[in-house]
Amino acid sequence: MNTKSPNHQITKSLNHSITQSPNSPTCLVLYSGGLDSILACKVLQEQGIHVIALYFITPFFGYKLKGQESISKKKALADHGIQFEKIDISEAYLKMVKSPEYGYGKYMNPCIDCRILMVRKAMKMLGEFNASFVVTGEVLGQRPMSQRRDALRIIERDSGADGLLLRPLSALHLRPTDMENKGLVDRSRLLELTGRGRKDQIALAVKYGIKEYPAPAGGCVLADPILSRRLKRVFELWPDFDVNDCVLAQMGKHFILPDRSWLVIGRDERENAKIVSIIRKGDIKLDLARVPGPTGLWRKMIYSDVNADIAASILCRYTKVKKRSEEVKLSGPGSENIKIFRTVPASDETINKYGM
């Protein structure tokens, strides 16, 4: 329960002028683009603290940002006055997701380990940005796994951020950090939000003029029931599952063939193009030779004509032109032709048997 309304606190904050002097401390904020992390930035900016937002890229969230950094940076600055830096932690993140010390939440979301990894990374970057502490938009009691009081404490301890991790949205419910004790941060201007409700955050968004923000956890596929089920299965099948595999796992229709190989069929033009963009050595691309249709990617196979025919027939099943048989072209990453199969569309039974 909140004991002090955010409106009261914001009005109080806005009555202070923003005075960022050359001696103002700098902090690194774990920034997801979600409302809580934007608010964390705003609360500190209003104290004149210099905020640098770190946007982490992993195979499971933020990945779309890869290659579009300058557009996103301009948008964050224009929309929210927030300067951000993107940090790609894909390899380390995937390693953690396969074996999180504190386990998974409801789905494949290893929230405590996820936070520890990001805070630890931010701590290591303090010197690079001449910053003195780390900030998150966590709210006590908002999420069942990572935002319980004991979990917040574990995150602080295991990331090596003892005393240097500030949660401005719930600070008044937590013990004062070193920055508050030293007077670098004015504790009286921090907030005391708790719980799962979003009412207070929405009121704060209105006060700060924040109009666009995604749904909470909306960008993390590890908290998605369908994708998590698929990820669990592929981690079991292929322990060496890598970042490129993660990208593939998040698109298309999926099939596991008898040799435990993996067939993915694009569902639209965008996915077909994406499949082509991530094909690599050892993969086989499938296309319909004579009519338009989806693109398929066959991976982790031990090649045999029997399995190739199953893969080709599954691809045929998703062409719009329904004929008794079709030609399917199998080619390697460099477009080298492997084989052309004439095959019939897979039956419902085959689709159900191999579908994931």
Could you say whether residue 217 binds ligand SF4 (CB under 6 A)? yes
CB atoms under 10 Å from CB of 192, counted, come to 18
Could you say whether residue 285 binds ligand SF4 (CB under 6 A)? no
- For residue 340, the SS3 value is strand
Among 77-85, 105-113, 122-130, 188-196, the segment contacting ligand SF4 (CB under 6 A): 105-113
Alpha-carbon span 87 to 138, nearest angstrom: 20
Classify strands 133-135 and 253-256 as parallel, antiparallel or unpaired.
Answer: unpaired
Among 23-31, 104-112, 186-194, 302-310, the segment contacting ligand SF4 (CB under 6 A): 104-112
Could you say whether residue 136 binds ligand SF4 (CB under 6 A)? no
Query: According to DSSP H, which parts of the chain are helical?
Result: 6-15, 35-45, 69-80, 90-98, 111-124, 149-158, 178-181, 199-208, 225-237, 243-249, 269-278, 305-317, 348-354
Nearest in space to 311 (alpha carbons), one of 282, 341, 337: 341
Could you say whether residue 111 binds ligand SF4 (CB under 6 A)? yes
Of 218 and 282, nearer to ligand SF4 (C-beta) is: 218
The DSSP code sequence of 76-87 is: HHHHH--EEEEE
Of 109 and 313, nearer to ligand SF4 (C-beta) is: 109
Give the x-and-dash track for 219-258 against ligand SF4 (CB under 6 A).
-x-xx-----------------------------------
* Amino acid at residue number 181: N
Alpha carbon 59 to chain centroid distance?
7
| Min dist. Cβ of residue 162 to ligand SF4 (A) | 20
Alpha-carbon span 356 to 166, nearest angstrom: 43
Contacts (CB under 6 A) with ligand SF4, residues 139-158: 146
| Min dist. Cβ of residue 10 to ligand SF4 (A) | 26
- Cβ–Cβ under 8 Å, residues 177 and 164: yes
Query: According to DSSP H, which parts of 130-266 are helical?
Result: 149-158, 178-181, 199-208, 225-237, 243-249
Please report where in the chains the tokens 């923000």 appear, as a residue: 213
Of 25 and 168, nearer to ligand SF4 (C-beta) is: 168
Of 126 and 217, nearer to ligand SF4 (C-beta) is: 217
Could you say whether residue 109 binds ligand SF4 (CB under 6 A)? yes
Of 203 and 227, nearer to ligand SF4 (C-beta) is: 227
Question: For ligand SF4, which residue of 115, 173, 253, 300 counts as binding (CB under 6 A)?
Answer: 115
Question: For ligand SF4, which residue of 31, 55, 61, 133 counts as binding (CB under 6 A)?
Answer: 61
Alpha-carbon span 334 to 280, nearest angstrom: 9
Contacts (CB under 6 A) with ligand SF4, residues 28-57: none
Residues that bind ligand SF4 (CB under 6 A): 61, 109-111, 114-115, 146, 217, 220, 222-223
